[in-house]
Amino acid sequence: MRLRLKIIATVSSLALVAFGTLAVSVNSSETGKIAQPPAGHPLDEIISGYNYRTPETQSLQDDDFENPGFIWVEKGEELWSTVDGAAGKSCESCHEDASETLKTAGAHFPKWNDDLGKPINLEQQINKCRTDQMQAKAWKWESEELLAMTAYTRMQSRGEPVKVEIDGKMKPFFEQGKDLYYTRVGQLDMACSNCHEDNYGNQIRSDLLSQGQTNGFPTYRLKWQKLGSTHRRFKGCMKNIRATPYAVGSDEFVNLELYIAYRGQGLKVEAPAVRN
């Protein structure tokens, strides 16, 4: 594959059990896996989920030839130049060399969209390009095609620091996402913050709770045995606390994604990451 030749190899299951503490070693000099928060940020330090994984899982992510997420990246590369739709275009027709035109794009979603009057995430932007520019059908959420294109496009921004806009037009949507993050829901009466702010670094069953950062999505989860989107992970968390999840692509999940991206400001994009 052309992509392979260009590349240089360079959470939580909720249960009614007590948390146990396990130390996590992080190093701010190691490839941007930890970042210093801006003023007013809710965290004292911003830590990638990479730091909470075993050395074996970290090794899988670090080696592009072993990272199972690259199956989808390679499929995305093929789709990039594949003509589809009534307009007779491919992604490459407009965006040309993705390594140049998308170098920073994946670090800035969700972002404002004037046509819709609200923020959209990367999956929605991909489908909007398909329907508006290519006159092709939108891909279904979690389809192999959308996962592949999301992985390929976001990987172009790997190493770029996450930075999303939260002011101006974005502010009310950001505030809605923040409210969702701290609102207790479900039969277990839990919020995102109960795990990913109050207990990160603590052990639950055989796993460690992370800060729930999204800089590695779309992510290959060993539990799933495939790549998955941020919104799939959100749904899984809500089901774990026995709450009714919002739909993938819903305004609620996009707003939550925006707020969590802000919580990871400064972390470098790792997609496709490997997690438990």
Pair of tokens at residue 263: 């919580």
Residues in contact with 167: Cβ distance below 8 Å, sequence separation at least 6, in sequence order:
none
pLDDT in tens, 9-43: 333 333 323 333 333 433 333 456 999 998 999 99
Q: Does residue 54 sit in the same domain as residue 84?
A: no
pLDDT attached to residue 251: 98
The pLDDT confidence band at residue 150, using thresholds 50, 70 and 90, is very high
Q: Catalytic positions, please?
A: 237
Q: By C-alpha distance, which of 73, 6, 28, 16 is closest to 267?
A: 28
Three-class DSSP labels, 217-258: CCEEECCCCEEECHHHHHHHHHHHCCCCCCCCCCHHHHHHHH
Is 211 domain-assigned? yes
Model pLDDT for residues 37-80, shown as the tens digit of each residue: 989 999 999 999 999 999 999 999 999 999 999 999 999 999 99
- DSSP code at position 112: E
Boundary residue ending a domain (122, 155, 188): 155
- State which of 134, 155, 176 marks the end of a domain: 155
Q: Residue 17: inside a domain, yes or no?
A: no
Tokens found for residue 86: 């009534």
Same domain, 229 and 149: no
Asked if the structure places residue 115 within a domain, the reply is yes
Same-domain check for residues 128 and 225: no
Distance CA 165, CA 169 (A): 9
Mean of the pLDDT values across residues 166-188?
A: 98
Residue among 42, 49, 57 nearest 12 (CA): 49
In a domain, 29, yes or no: no
Quick one: 184 and 262 in the same domain? yes
250 vs 256: CA distance, rounded Å: 10
Cis preceding linkage at 37, omega within 30: no
On whether both 98 and 117 belong to a single domain, the answer is yes
pLDDT tens track for 105-141: 999 999 999 999 999 999 999 999 999 999 999 999 9
Domain enclosing residue 145, as ranges: 70-155
57 Rama class: left (phi>0) / alpha (psi -120 to 50) / beta? alpha
Q: How far apart are CA 61 and CA 55, in angstroms?
A: 10
Domain identity same for 55 and 166: yes
Q: For residues 75 and 49, state if they share a domain.
A: no
Domain count, the chain: 2
Q: Show which of 139, 155, 171 is a domain's final residue.
A: 155
Q: How far apart are CA 249 and CA 103, in angstroms?
A: 24
Does residue 226 fall inside a structural domain?
yes
The per-residue pLDDT for 205 is: 80
Q: Can you tell me the mean pLDDT for 239-263?
A: 98
Q: Let me know if residue 125 belongs to a domain.
A: yes
Q: What is residue 32's predicted lDDT score, i.e. its pLDDT?
A: 64
Give the pLDDT mean for 210-228: 97
Mean pLDDT value across the chain: 90
Mean pLDDT of 244-251: 98
DSSP characters for 159-180? TSBP----SGGGHHHHHHHHHH
pLDDT given at position 27: 36
Question: Where residue 206 falls among pLDDT bands split at 50, 70, 90?
Answer: confident
Same domain, 131 and 210: no
Does 126 fall in a domain? yes
Are both 149 and 169 inside the same structural domain?
no
Q: Is 137 part of a structural domain of the chain?
A: yes
Phi, psi of 164 (to 5 degrees): -115, 150
Q: Is the pLDDT of residue 3 over 80?
A: no
Indicate if 181 and 252 belong to the same structural domain.
Answer: yes
State the angle between helix axes of 230-240 and 251-263 in degrees (0 to 180), rounded to the nearest 10. Answer: 100
Regarding pTM above 0.85, the answer is: yes
Q: Rounded to whole angstroms, how far apart are CA atoms 219 and 273?
A: 5
Same domain, 265 and 179: yes
Q: What is the CATH number of the domain that holds 106?
A: 1.10.760.10
Q: Are residues 130 and 230 in the same domain?
A: no
In DSSP terms, which residues pair with 185 in a beta bridge?
190
- pLDDT (0 to 100) of residue 207: 84
